[in-house]
Homo-oligomer: A and B are copies of this chain.
């Protein structure tokens, strides 16, 4: 059982539960570098597999580019570099030798990939190019680090595409929004997506779309970004193609970034006083079987275990004999296993299965029926989690009609005209940041001119 309640003491609850359940080990001697024990890493890998599927369904191909980027290549796109220069790690020595050219440990891969893209792309027939990679990237964080949220070695999924026109890149962005929607459904995490204000876009991007989710603490967490680069990178990296009429043109590009923050969001959004709740689609253990000692229980439990394994359920049979069934119930609830089977004498004699959903609710049914229904039962838990999270998050976000008076910790909707000066007023008076603008129009809360619906929040 978690020490704290996420609703009242989120930060302590979060730090405690991720380590207690084996998602991470924070005892590595460098701040911001965490160890992934088996349970946490398995969760990440299952999420990666879902992401791979979605990317590939949209024609992306996986690649792998080097982690080390020579300084000269890194320095080509001025605005981009400026955004990263204070937070890159520099490799200056190999063995006892000073390197002739210093190397950057990739903070993101534009500057590693684009010189090669410029060799791969010759004509319009080479376009679009749609690649992604799942890699470790590095940021020399000087801010306080927080596991899965702000770390120095990031588990990063990055899509990079190249197109023959701005319009084709825009279509890609629509695809990416759909990919992101599918990923978010897999982890049952609701989000609000919108355009970042200009000062908050990715360094070098033409514009940035961000997806944010919201924690019981009231703070928002950016969990995905999609960038339209236009030809901002194509120019310095010389990514050009010959079009159908024989004219040489610069390409247009987009990128798409997701990270282990997906795990932070699973923890923060679904968790409760008892511990984690992991959505069935990505749960390392979807079903745990807890035998309640009695005649024939061991055999019957094993039979159920094997049957579930044979239909590709990720199932665990907890045969540890040093713990009571009650202790095991708590243990697996804490670890967030979505479905628990309780198998005792009665289940054996009646040929039934008793199950308890981590989202609440307990029932029995004949084994055969259970086997037929198990996948829809797991999907039922998945959608319960999703709709519960949607409700909860919607309850956090209130419209704000005035900048006067006491502010709470929670995010708000306001209308904003788009001017930096009005944003400054909003941010100062509310203590919250402009996250993104989305559909919906009304009068700017500061100047009264026509404005767009805008979400503001305290950020991680």
Which residues does A use to contact B, with CB under 8 Å? 25, 27-30, 33-38, 41-42, 44-45, 61-68, 70, 73, 85-97, 103, 105, 112, 115-116, 119-120, 131, 136, 138, 140, 142, 152-153, 155
Interface of A, secondary structure class, is mixed
State the copy count for this chain.
2
Pick the most buried of A45, A67, A155: most chain B CB atoms within 10 A of its CB: A67
Within the complex, which residue of B38, B63, B142 is in contact with A61, where a contact is CB–CB below 8 Å? B38
- In the assembled complex, the CB of A145 is this many whole angstroms from the nearest CB of chain B, namely 12
Which listed residue, B64, B103, B120, B140, touches A41 by the CB 8 Å rule? B64
- Top-5 shortest CB links A-B: A94-B140, A90-B93, A38-B61, A33-B66, A36-B64
Once A38-B63, A65-B35 are accepted as A-B contacts, the answer to whether A90 and B88 lie under 8 Å apart by CB is no
Nearest B residue (CB) for A89:
B91
Q: In the complex, are the beta carbons of B66 and A30 less than 8 A apart?
A: yes
- Asked if A88 meets B92 with Cβ closer than 8 Å, knowing A36-B63, A64-B41, the reply is no
Residues on the B chain within 8 Å of A96, using CB: 85-86
Which B residues are CB-close (under 8 A) to A64?
Answer: 35-36, 41, 44, 155
* Contact yes or no, B105 A91, CB < 8 A: yes
Cβ–Cβ contact B28 & A116, under 8 A:
yes
Partner of A116, one of B35, B89, B103: B35
Contacts of A136 in B (CB 8 A): 67, 136
Of B44, B85, B88, B93, the residue contacting A89 (CB under 8 A) is B93
Q: Is the CB of A27 within 8 A of B119?
A: yes
Q: Are A95 and B91 in contact (CB under 8 A)?
A: no
For A36, the chain B residues whose CB sits under 8 A away are 63-65
Query: Which chain B residues lie closer than 8 Å to A28 at the CB level?
Result: 65-66, 112, 115-116
Which of chain B's residues have a CB closer than 8 A to the CB of A142?
95
B residues less than 8 Å from A35 (CB atoms): 63-66, 116
Which of chain B's residues have a CB closer than 8 A to the CB of A44? Answer: 64
A25 touches B95 (CB 8 A): no
